[in-house]
Chain A
Amino acid sequence: MPASDHRLTTPEMAEFVATGILRFDAIIPADINERVVAELESLFRAKIAPMLGQPEPPLPFERPESLTPLSECYASESVLGEYLRLPQVQGIIRSLVGSAPIYDHDFVHHLPAGSTYEQHLHVDAVVDSEDPTFDIQLFYFPNEVKPGEGGTRYVPGSHLRRVRAEGVSRYQHLVGEAQYAGPAGTLMVFHHGVWHAGQRNPGPDRWMHKIRLNPTTSQVRQWNLDDFDEHHNDARDHVFAKTQPGSVAERLRVMLPWQRGHEERYEQMERARLWRYLSGDPTFDVDYYFTRLEGRAKLVAGAEG
């Protein structure tokens, strides 16, 4: 659970760094879940009309444009706005993308009952940078999705891999991949790099709203820091020397089943790189991999200087 001020805790942030995903079951109240579906239907029609060359049906609120501050998106008449302005949702957003995120885009995903449409595994970050900054995508499921009803398929821990969107389509199955199922009002928060795919829907009509948010201000230490010193470790936390129970490093060492083998060390370094960024601590490490190399780099720099 998030902290009392609705921001995330340090272990939750470490979980996000490790898996690229946070999940909050039934965090959106039933009243909003029930009312939002009609709005999603209207928004869906409004969004696809221009793509079909049709006139856009009117909405009781203005559709946001890219670059709009999130705080100005979906005015008070909008149920989506109600959901996005919930303190518990604001706390999650603030923790991950800072105090002034902007709207990138959103979309309404509608899978009619019995739909056989199925996507290949892909990543939305078609064009991406090498730096550790990141966007988040909120997947809001207003209806219950039962196991076997074809919820979104996703690969925990895939967010830090340098890949092209179309390249990962060949992975039909990965050990430890997941398929969403959960109660109404569940929010899934994805790092923009998580591999995922829409699946055929053998269940009832299903609606999902996905919105991508960009940070415009610092992402460093934006979560609730009450427990930060308890969990944040220094570079001595080394599994082949001595470890600190309950540390961030302890969480970042835990790999997903598909990440087995020696490659997990590289995955661990990517996670450490992201935690360095989020914590603002350039000396943070997990199992000494960066620290060892950086020590040698200093020797080389000294010899050359």
Chain B
Amino acid sequence: MSERQQILYLWLSEGALDTPVVGWAFHDGAAGFGPALPDEEPPYGTGVAALQDGWMLLQSPALQPLAGDAAHRPGYLASEFVFERRIAVDD
């Protein structure tokens, strides 16, 4: 037996884990041997809901110092949280 990762990106509306999900992406290193995402869209209402379903938080966004006018200009989605699930698979 060995382990494979499932990775879930959640973009939340703000920097707190209990704010609403506004975007998501799923990558399945276990090639379908692990559980799928819930059918709902988005699959979880908040980041906390993902934790409650067994996802482990890998990374949360660092808060950046504000720099001039650029601080008020939107770009990439700021609140990107990355989760993993480890799935046991047969070698």
Contact = CB atoms under 8 A, between A and B. Distances in A.
Contacts of A263: 13-14, 74, 78
A43 B14 CA distance: 47
B31 interface: no
A261 B72 contact: no
A173 B14 contact: no
A160 B23 contact: no
A171 B14 CA distance: 16
B72 A161 contact: no
B24 A162 contact: no
B9 interface: yes
Contacts of B75: 161-163
Contact of B13 (A163, A167, A260): A260
B73 A171 contact: no
Contact of B76 (A161, A175, A267): A161
Given A173-B41, A173-B42, A175-B42, A258 B22 contact: yes
A270 B22 contact: no
8 contacts: A160-B74, A162-B74, A175-B21, A258-B11, A261-B12, A266-B74, A269-B72, A289-B72
A59 interface: no
Interface string B24-46: 11100000000000000110000
Interface string A236-262: 000000000000000000000111111
Contacts of B19: 261
B88 interface: no
Interface residues of B, number: 23
Contacts of B78: 263
Ranked nearest first, the 7 interchain pairs of A and B with the lowest CB-CB distance are: A261-B13, A172-B25, A260-B13, A174-B23, A258-B22, A261-B14, A162-B75
A164 B21 CA distance: 22
A172 B41 CA distance: 12
B76 A168 contact: yes
Nearest to B75: A162
A259 to B, nearest CB: 8
A279 to B, nearest CB: 20
A205 B41 CA distance: 29
A175 B42 CA distance: 7
